[in-house]
Amino acid sequence: MEFANVINGRRAVNFFDPNKEVPENLLKEFIEAAAKAPSSFNLQPWSVIVVKDQEEKARLRKLAWDQPKVSEAPLVLIVLADRKAWEEGHPFVERNFAEMIKAGTMTTGQRDWFKNARTSLYGYSDEAALAFACKNTGFFAMGLMLAAKSLGLDTHPMDGFDQNGVRKAFHIPEHYWIPLLLAVGYFDKNKTLAPPKWRKSYDEIVVRFDK
């Protein structure tokens, strides 16, 4: 599918056909395509919980403003941003360091440099660690929506949910922020899709704050 058609054609779809499953191979394909996203020091602070079970979707729906799409979509991803993904000893930090040594882009002697760089950028405040995790997971999540679209799937990113309620219900450890829920499936063709919403223009996006 042409890139322009994907980025211009992607819509947040409110109505999913509850009878059309998302094949496992497509799920895997769009998740791995999205995971090509760049991230700070390649730390990839993203994870997902795949919610397919009807009882689990019902539990999630109660915590998500009772939005029907949560139980109507064949699957919902709980997207997670790991605020500790920069910390020394984190399994993927260790993996990264090992991979960089293997690739010859870092030496074993640079372990402290690598630790200090991560700490100076993300470890100096809770705010910086949260921003790091949510920004990079935002890259990944945009990839999920676009890659799903390129495979003929539809999605709906959701913010309307109880952050702490979802955390408790799915036993998600405290160090993960939940930036969004993502409903995935096929648009219900018996419904009408609303026209696209307005967007800021180039001139509204570009700013200057000169004194």
164-170, Cβ contacts within 8 angstroms, sequence gap of 24 or more: 165/63, 166/60, 166/63, 166/64, 166/78, 169/59, 169/60, 169/63, 170/49, 170/78
DSSP 8-state class, residue 181: E
CB of 73 to its own copies, least distance (A): 15
CB nearer its own copies, residue 89 or residue 195: 195
CB of 93 to its own copies, least distance (A): 13
SS3 state at 53: coil
Amino acid type, 62:
K
CB of 101 to its own copies, least distance (A): 12
Q: What six digits make up the tokens of 166?
A: 């979802």
Q: Largest Cα–Cα distance in the chain?
A: 62
CB nearer its own copies, residue 16 or residue 132: 132
CB-based contact 74:188 (threshold 8 Å): no
CB of 191 to its own copies, least distance (A): 15
The H or E element containing residue 138 is helix 126-150
CB nearer its own copies, residue 17 or residue 151: 151
Count CB-CB contacts under 10 A for residue 41. 18
CB-based contact 62:161 (threshold 8 Å): no
CB of 9 to its own copies, least distance (A): 9
CB nearer its own copies, residue 19 or residue 105: 105
CB nearer its own copies, residue 8 or residue 111: 8
